[in-house]
Amino acid sequence: MQPSNFDLRSYLLRIGLAGTPSADLATLRGMMRRQLFSVPFENLDVQAGRVVSLVPEEIFTKVVERRRGGYCYEVNGIFAMALEAVGIPYRFVAARPMTYPVRRPKTHMAIVAEVDGGQWLCDLGFGSYGIREPINLAWLDHGIRQDDDLFRLTTVAGWDYLLQAFTDGAWKNLYEFDLNPQEWVDFEPANFMNSTHPDSIFVRNLMVVLQNETGKEVLTSLYHKSVSEGRSVETKILREQIPALLRERFGLEITEG
């Protein structure tokens, strides 16, 4: 169900997408890229000790009206609201992050949209390793170039999809997922864990990522990294530098509430 306060025009202004959207691949790709380039992946609320809200109306207010970002449930959630408004069918899917040394539950939210006769993986919330535009689920077992990043989609166990990224000279597993449709409520336990558990990477460390046309900006509690055309510059930071970096590099202000 679409949230009562969702306004497509306001969303499009927020992400800076001109023109009239249609239920086609060009719109799907354009909306995904423009949102990635304007709405940061960020966990400022978790760092402030707040449990992230999965109420769609509150996500719209946060991301569009307050010009904030969010982590996977929020940024993929607002994207799903826009897909519904445009008329592009989609489903939420639960994904198992594979970037940990031990096997973890399916705590990540991604989206599979259906347009122009194909099924397309869309994900705006996997941080610095995230894909940059939709990937067709039929594009299996070969490298998929997206700007200066290289991804691969394969299958495991006969039914799960596995997304990988090529980094440091090897394929790195990102996450696996199946096509069973999920609802908002299905992500409540994972969201609570990610927002509160002391071992959660979102509780333990600041994480802010904003994609751009040539690369990305990444901020953690320890460093700021700029990536452009495959080259990266990493700088250690002091905690007192964080507010200025959030404002100048990511368009974010740390505020109470």
Catalytic residue numbers? 72, 108, 123
CA distances for 26 relative to 20, 31, 32, 65, 223, angstroms:
11, 8, 10, 26, 36
Which of 197, 61, 189, 52 has the alpha carbon at shortest distance from 125? 52
> Which DSSP letter does residue 158 get?
T
Which of 54, 84, 81 has the alpha carbon at shortest distance from 70? 54
Say how many Å lie between the first and final Cα of the chain, rounded. Answer: 26
Q: Which residue has the tokens 């530098």?
A: 241
3-state secondary structure 55-67: CHHHHHHHHHHCC
